[in-house]
Amino acid sequence: MKKTTLGVYAIALGSIALWGLSYIWCDRILALGIPVEYFVPIRILVAGIILFVVNLIMGCSMRIRKEDTVMFLLLALFEPFIYFFCETYGIQFTGSPTISALVIATTPIFAIIAGRIFFSEESSWHNWAGIAVCLGGLALVTGTHGSVGRLFWFGLAVLLIAVIAEVGHSACTKRLADSYAPTVIVMYQFLIGTVYFIPMFLTRGMENFDGSVYLSIDFFKPMMALAVLCSAVAFSLWAKAIQKLGLTRACIFLAMIPIATALWGFILGDEQLRPLQWIGLAVACGGIVLTQLRGKGEA
Protein backbone atom coordinates (compact mmCIF):
# COMPACT_ATOMS: atom_id res chain seq x y z
CA MET A 1 0.00 0.00 0.00
CA LYS A 2 1.34 3.41 -0.94
CA LYS A 3 2.54 5.72 1.81
CA THR A 4 0.28 8.48 0.51
CA THR A 5 -2.74 6.18 0.83
CA LEU A 6 -1.77 5.26 4.37
CA GLY A 7 -1.47 8.98 5.13
CA VAL A 8 -4.99 9.65 3.87
CA TYR A 9 -6.38 6.77 5.93
CA ALA A 10 -4.59 8.19 8.97
CA ILE A 11 -6.26 11.55 8.32
CA ALA A 12 -9.71 9.94 8.08
CA LEU A 13 -9.13 7.88 11.23
CA GLY A 14 -7.88 10.98 13.03
CA SER A 15 -11.22 12.68 12.36
CA ILE A 16 -13.13 9.65 13.57
CA ALA A 17 -11.04 9.40 16.74
CA LEU A 18 -11.69 13.04 17.60
CA TRP A 19 -15.41 12.81 16.84
CA GLY A 20 -15.63 9.70 18.99
CA LEU A 21 -14.08 11.64 21.85
CA SER A 22 -16.50 14.51 21.29
CA TYR A 23 -19.41 12.47 22.67
CA ILE A 24 -17.61 12.17 26.00
CA TRP A 25 -16.91 15.91 26.19
CA CYS A 26 -20.48 16.71 25.16
CA ASP A 27 -21.76 14.44 27.93
CA ARG A 28 -19.69 16.38 30.47
CA ILE A 29 -21.25 19.64 29.32
CA LEU A 30 -24.79 18.25 29.25
CA ALA A 31 -24.24 16.86 32.77
CA LEU A 32 -23.91 20.49 33.91
CA GLY A 33 -27.45 21.14 32.69
CA ILE A 34 -26.28 23.36 29.80
CA PRO A 35 -28.54 23.08 26.73
CA VAL A 36 -27.33 22.16 23.26
CA GLU A 37 -28.66 25.46 21.93
CA TYR A 38 -26.16 27.29 24.14
CA PHE A 39 -22.90 25.37 23.81
CA VAL A 40 -23.07 24.26 20.16
CA PRO A 41 -23.22 27.84 18.75
CA ILE A 42 -20.33 28.85 21.02
CA ARG A 43 -18.36 25.76 19.99
CA ILE A 44 -18.68 26.39 16.26
CA LEU A 45 -18.13 30.16 16.57
CA VAL A 46 -14.87 29.61 18.45
CA ALA A 47 -13.80 26.99 15.89
CA GLY A 48 -14.60 29.36 13.01
CA ILE A 49 -12.58 32.19 14.58
CA ILE A 50 -9.62 29.86 15.19
CA LEU A 51 -9.67 28.72 11.57
CA PHE A 52 -9.92 32.32 10.38
CA VAL A 53 -6.69 33.12 12.25
CA VAL A 54 -5.06 29.93 10.90
CA ASN A 55 -6.01 30.82 7.33
CA LEU A 56 -4.63 34.34 7.76
CA ILE A 57 -1.32 33.00 9.06
CA MET A 58 -1.10 30.40 6.27
CA GLY A 59 -1.99 32.99 3.64
CA CYS A 60 -4.94 30.97 2.31
CA SER A 61 -7.31 32.71 -0.08
CA MET A 62 -10.65 33.18 1.70
CA ARG A 63 -12.57 34.73 -1.16
CA ILE A 64 -15.78 32.88 -2.06
CA ARG A 65 -16.59 32.73 -5.73
CA LYS A 66 -20.10 33.95 -6.50
CA GLU A 67 -21.14 30.64 -8.03
CA ASP A 68 -20.17 28.79 -4.82
CA THR A 69 -22.21 30.94 -2.41
CA VAL A 70 -25.24 28.64 -2.40
CA MET A 71 -23.03 25.59 -1.89
CA PHE A 72 -21.46 27.13 1.22
CA LEU A 73 -24.90 28.06 2.57
CA LEU A 74 -26.08 24.48 2.03
CA LEU A 75 -22.91 23.09 3.60
CA ALA A 76 -23.50 24.97 6.87
CA LEU A 77 -27.22 24.18 6.79
CA PHE A 78 -26.58 20.44 6.55
CA GLU A 79 -23.87 20.49 9.21
CA PRO A 80 -23.61 21.83 11.85
CA PHE A 81 -27.22 23.08 11.92
CA ILE A 82 -29.49 20.20 10.81
CA TYR A 83 -27.16 17.38 11.82
CA PHE A 84 -26.37 18.58 15.34
CA PHE A 85 -30.01 19.44 16.00
CA CYS A 86 -31.46 16.16 14.71
CA GLU A 87 -28.79 13.93 16.21
CA THR A 88 -29.24 15.37 19.71
CA TYR A 89 -33.03 15.28 19.72
CA GLY A 90 -33.10 11.92 17.95
CA ILE A 91 -31.16 10.37 20.84
CA GLN A 92 -33.55 12.03 23.29
CA PHE A 93 -36.72 10.82 21.51
CA THR A 94 -35.62 7.22 20.94
CA GLY A 95 -34.46 6.92 24.53
CA SER A 96 -31.65 4.64 23.34
CA PRO A 97 -28.12 5.85 22.52
CA THR A 98 -27.36 2.33 21.25
CA ILE A 99 -30.06 2.30 18.60
CA SER A 100 -29.28 5.93 17.76
CA ALA A 101 -25.64 5.03 17.15
CA LEU A 102 -26.66 2.19 14.85
CA VAL A 103 -28.93 4.50 12.83
CA ILE A 104 -26.17 7.11 12.44
CA ALA A 105 -23.81 4.31 11.40
CA THR A 106 -25.94 3.67 8.30
CA THR A 107 -24.54 6.89 6.80
CA PRO A 108 -22.10 5.02 4.48
CA ILE A 109 -25.01 3.26 2.75
CA PHE A 110 -26.60 6.58 1.85
CA ALA A 111 -23.16 7.96 0.93
CA ILE A 112 -22.60 5.20 -1.64
CA ILE A 113 -25.93 6.06 -3.26
CA ALA A 114 -25.14 9.81 -3.26
CA GLY A 115 -21.62 9.22 -4.57
CA ARG A 116 -22.97 7.18 -7.47
CA ILE A 117 -25.73 9.68 -8.37
CA PHE A 118 -23.89 13.00 -7.97
CA PHE A 119 -20.22 12.14 -8.55
CA SER A 120 -20.37 8.98 -10.69
CA GLU A 121 -18.29 7.15 -8.08
CA GLU A 122 -18.24 3.40 -8.63
CA SER A 123 -19.31 1.05 -5.86
CA SER A 124 -18.35 -2.61 -5.73
CA TRP A 125 -19.19 -5.67 -3.73
CA HIS A 126 -16.26 -4.75 -1.49
CA ASN A 127 -18.10 -1.59 -0.42
CA TRP A 128 -21.39 -3.30 0.36
CA ALA A 129 -19.86 -6.38 2.00
CA GLY A 130 -17.57 -4.21 4.11
CA ILE A 131 -20.47 -2.05 5.30
CA ALA A 132 -22.47 -5.15 6.26
CA VAL A 133 -19.53 -6.59 8.21
CA CYS A 134 -18.81 -3.25 9.88
CA LEU A 135 -22.43 -2.77 10.98
CA GLY A 136 -22.45 -6.32 12.37
CA GLY A 137 -19.35 -5.57 14.40
CA LEU A 138 -20.83 -2.27 15.51
CA ALA A 139 -23.91 -4.07 16.83
CA LEU A 140 -21.65 -6.25 18.97
CA VAL A 141 -19.71 -3.25 20.30
CA THR A 142 -22.74 -1.18 21.23
CA GLY A 143 -24.39 -4.23 22.83
CA THR A 144 -28.03 -4.91 23.50
CA HIS A 145 -30.53 -2.20 24.30
CA GLY A 146 -33.24 -1.93 26.91
CA SER A 147 -36.55 -0.11 26.81
CA VAL A 148 -37.16 2.63 24.27
CA GLY A 149 -38.68 6.06 24.58
CA ARG A 150 -42.33 7.03 24.11
CA LEU A 151 -41.49 8.91 20.88
CA PHE A 152 -39.26 6.12 19.59
CA TRP A 153 -40.42 6.04 15.96
CA PHE A 154 -40.40 9.82 15.69
CA GLY A 155 -36.86 9.72 17.05
CA LEU A 156 -35.83 7.25 14.35
CA ALA A 157 -37.22 9.59 11.68
CA VAL A 158 -35.28 12.51 13.16
CA LEU A 159 -32.07 10.45 13.20
CA LEU A 160 -32.55 9.52 9.55
CA ILE A 161 -32.76 13.23 8.76
CA ALA A 162 -29.42 13.61 10.57
CA VAL A 163 -27.95 10.83 8.41
CA ILE A 164 -29.17 12.51 5.21
CA ALA A 165 -27.77 15.84 6.45
CA GLU A 166 -24.35 14.23 7.03
CA VAL A 167 -24.33 12.86 3.49
CA GLY A 168 -25.41 16.27 2.17
CA HIS A 169 -22.60 17.92 4.13
CA SER A 170 -20.03 15.47 2.73
CA ALA A 171 -21.35 15.94 -0.81
CA CYS A 172 -21.07 19.74 -0.53
CA THR A 173 -17.55 19.36 0.85
CA LYS A 174 -16.66 17.17 -2.12
CA ARG A 175 -17.96 19.85 -4.51
CA LEU A 176 -15.86 22.56 -2.87
CA ALA A 177 -12.72 20.54 -2.07
CA ASP A 178 -11.01 21.10 -5.42
CA SER A 179 -11.35 24.90 -5.25
CA TYR A 180 -10.75 25.79 -1.59
CA ALA A 181 -8.36 24.74 1.18
CA PRO A 182 -9.98 22.38 3.72
CA THR A 183 -9.47 24.92 6.52
CA VAL A 184 -11.27 27.59 4.47
CA ILE A 185 -14.24 25.32 3.73
CA VAL A 186 -14.65 24.41 7.40
CA MET A 187 -14.14 28.01 8.54
CA TYR A 188 -17.09 29.22 6.47
CA GLN A 189 -19.10 26.15 7.45
CA PHE A 190 -18.86 27.11 11.12
CA LEU A 191 -19.18 30.89 10.75
CA ILE A 192 -22.30 30.56 8.57
CA GLY A 193 -23.62 27.80 10.84
CA THR A 194 -23.30 30.17 13.81
CA VAL A 195 -25.68 32.58 12.08
CA TYR A 196 -28.24 29.79 11.62
CA PHE A 197 -28.07 29.03 15.35
CA ILE A 198 -28.52 32.63 16.58
CA PRO A 199 -32.35 32.49 17.04
CA MET A 200 -32.10 29.24 19.03
CA PHE A 201 -29.16 30.57 21.06
CA LEU A 202 -30.99 33.76 22.05
CA THR A 203 -34.18 31.89 23.03
CA ARG A 204 -33.78 28.31 24.28
CA GLY A 205 -30.03 28.64 24.79
CA MET A 206 -30.28 31.65 27.12
CA GLU A 207 -33.62 30.73 28.70
CA ASN A 208 -32.19 29.54 32.03
CA PHE A 209 -28.81 31.26 31.91
CA ASP A 210 -26.74 30.86 35.09
CA GLY A 211 -23.36 32.58 34.94
CA SER A 212 -21.87 30.40 37.68
CA VAL A 213 -22.43 27.35 35.45
CA TYR A 214 -22.57 28.64 31.87
CA LEU A 215 -19.31 30.60 32.29
CA SER A 216 -17.54 28.17 34.62
CA ILE A 217 -14.20 26.48 34.03
CA ASP A 218 -16.04 23.13 34.06
CA PHE A 219 -17.83 24.30 30.92
CA PHE A 220 -14.93 26.18 29.36
CA LYS A 221 -12.46 23.25 29.33
CA PRO A 222 -14.58 20.66 27.43
CA MET A 223 -16.06 23.38 25.20
CA MET A 224 -12.60 24.50 24.06
CA ALA A 225 -11.60 20.89 23.48
CA LEU A 226 -14.69 20.45 21.31
CA ALA A 227 -14.08 23.70 19.42
CA VAL A 228 -10.36 23.20 18.76
CA LEU A 229 -9.98 19.43 18.37
CA CYS A 230 -13.41 18.07 17.44
CA SER A 231 -14.46 20.99 15.23
CA ALA A 232 -11.53 22.98 13.81
CA VAL A 233 -9.08 20.08 13.52
CA ALA A 234 -11.41 17.13 12.91
CA PHE A 235 -13.57 18.78 10.24
CA SER A 236 -10.49 20.11 8.41
CA LEU A 237 -9.00 16.61 8.36
CA TRP A 238 -12.33 15.23 7.16
CA ALA A 239 -12.51 17.70 4.26
CA LYS A 240 -9.04 16.54 3.21
CA ALA A 241 -10.06 12.88 3.48
CA ILE A 242 -13.11 13.44 1.24
CA GLN A 243 -10.93 15.30 -1.27
CA LYS A 244 -8.50 12.37 -1.49
CA LEU A 245 -10.73 9.33 -1.01
CA GLY A 246 -13.98 10.52 -2.56
CA LEU A 247 -17.42 10.63 -0.95
CA THR A 248 -18.12 6.88 -0.93
CA ARG A 249 -14.86 5.59 0.54
CA ALA A 250 -14.45 8.41 3.05
CA CYS A 251 -17.96 8.21 4.51
CA ILE A 252 -17.57 4.51 5.23
CA PHE A 253 -15.26 5.53 8.09
CA LEU A 254 -18.19 7.32 9.78
CA ALA A 255 -19.46 3.93 10.92
CA MET A 256 -16.46 3.83 13.26
CA ILE A 257 -17.53 6.83 15.38
CA PRO A 258 -19.58 4.84 17.95
CA ILE A 259 -16.71 2.36 18.21
CA ALA A 260 -14.23 5.19 18.76
CA THR A 261 -16.47 6.52 21.52
CA ALA A 262 -16.58 3.10 23.19
CA LEU A 263 -12.79 2.85 23.00
CA TRP A 264 -12.29 6.31 24.47
CA GLY A 265 -14.71 5.44 27.25
CA PHE A 266 -12.61 2.35 28.01
CA ILE A 267 -9.32 4.27 27.88
CA LEU A 268 -10.62 7.05 30.14
CA GLY A 269 -12.15 4.56 32.56
CA ASP A 270 -15.75 5.59 31.87
CA GLU A 271 -16.76 2.23 30.40
CA GLN A 272 -15.64 -1.40 30.54
CA LEU A 273 -15.75 -3.38 27.28
CA ARG A 274 -16.84 -7.01 27.47
CA PRO A 275 -15.04 -9.74 25.45
CA LEU A 276 -17.89 -9.83 22.92
CA GLN A 277 -17.48 -6.10 22.37
CA TRP A 278 -13.76 -6.51 21.67
CA ILE A 279 -14.67 -9.15 19.09
CA GLY A 280 -17.17 -6.72 17.57
CA LEU A 281 -14.49 -4.06 17.39
CA ALA A 282 -12.19 -6.40 15.47
CA VAL A 283 -15.03 -7.39 13.12
CA ALA A 284 -15.95 -3.75 12.45
CA CYS A 285 -12.34 -2.83 11.69
CA GLY A 286 -12.16 -5.77 9.32
CA GLY A 287 -15.27 -4.46 7.58
CA ILE A 288 -13.65 -1.05 7.11
CA VAL A 289 -10.57 -2.68 5.58
CA LEU A 290 -12.81 -4.68 3.23
CA THR A 291 -14.53 -1.52 1.98
CA GLN A 292 -11.18 -0.07 0.94
CA LEU A 293 -10.05 -3.07 -1.14
CA ARG A 294 -9.86 -2.57 -4.88
CA GLY A 295 -10.93 -5.18 -7.34
CA LYS A 296 -9.43 -5.70 -10.78
CA GLY A 297 -10.08 -2.77 -13.05
CA GLU A 298 -10.86 -0.39 -10.18
CA ALA A 299 -8.83 2.78 -10.01
Residue-level pLDDT at 184: 96
Residue-level pLDDT at 272: 65
Q: How many CA atoms lie within 13 A of 39 on its CB side?
A: 29
Residue-level pLDDT at 81: 93
Q: Per residue in 246-283, pLDDT tens?
A: 877 787 787 777 777 777 777 777 666 677 767 776 77
Mean pLDDT value across the chain: 81
Residue type, 276: L
Task: Locate all alpha helices (DSSP H) within 81-147, ordered by sequence.
Answer: 83-94, 97-104, 107-119, 125-142
Percent of the chain with pLDDT over 70: 77
Contact between 94 and 155 under an 8 Å Cβ cutoff? The reply is: yes
Q: Pick the residue with more confidence: 146 or 261?
A: 261
Residue-level pLDDT at 273: 63
Residue-level pLDDT at 96: 56
Residue-level pLDDT at 104: 72
- pLDDT over 80 at 225, yes or no: yes
Task: Give the range among 71-85, 168-182, 260-274 with minimum mean pLDDT.
Answer: 260-274
Residue-level pLDDT at 261: 72
Q: What is the mean pLDDT of residues 99-128?
A: 68
Q: How many CB atoms lie within 10 A of CB 207?
A: 10
Give the predicted TM-score (pTM) of the model.
Answer: 0.78
- pLDDT over 80 at 139, yes or no: no
Q: What is the mean pLDDT of residues 128-150?
A: 64
Residue-level pLDDT at 291: 61
Rounded (10°) CA dihedral 175, 179, 180, 181: 100
Q: How many CB atoms lie within 10 A of CB 26?
A: 20
Q: Pick the residue with more confidence: 254 or 230?
A: 230
- pLDDT over 90 at 197, yes or no: yes
Where does the pLDDT of residue 29 fall: very low under 50, low under 70, confident under 90, or very high at 90 and above? confident
Rounded (10°) CA dihedral 223, 216, 213, 86: -10
Q: Pick the residue with more confidence: 49 or 146?
A: 49
Where does the pLDDT of residue 297 fall: very low under 50, low under 70, confident under 90, or very high at 90 and above? very low
- pLDDT over 80 at 98, yes or no: no
Residue-level pLDDT at 158: 86
Q: Pick the residue with more confidence: 159 or 70?
A: 70
Q: Pick the residue with more confidence: 109 or 183?
A: 183
- pLDDT over 90 at 22, yes or no: no
Task: Give the whole-angstrom CA distance, residue 195 versus residue 203.
Answer: 14
Where does the pLDDT of residue 75 fall: very low under 50, low under 70, confident under 90, or very high at 90 and above? very high
Residue-level pLDDT at 144: 47
Residue-level pLDDT at 110: 72
Q: What is the mean pLDDT of residues 285-291?
A: 66
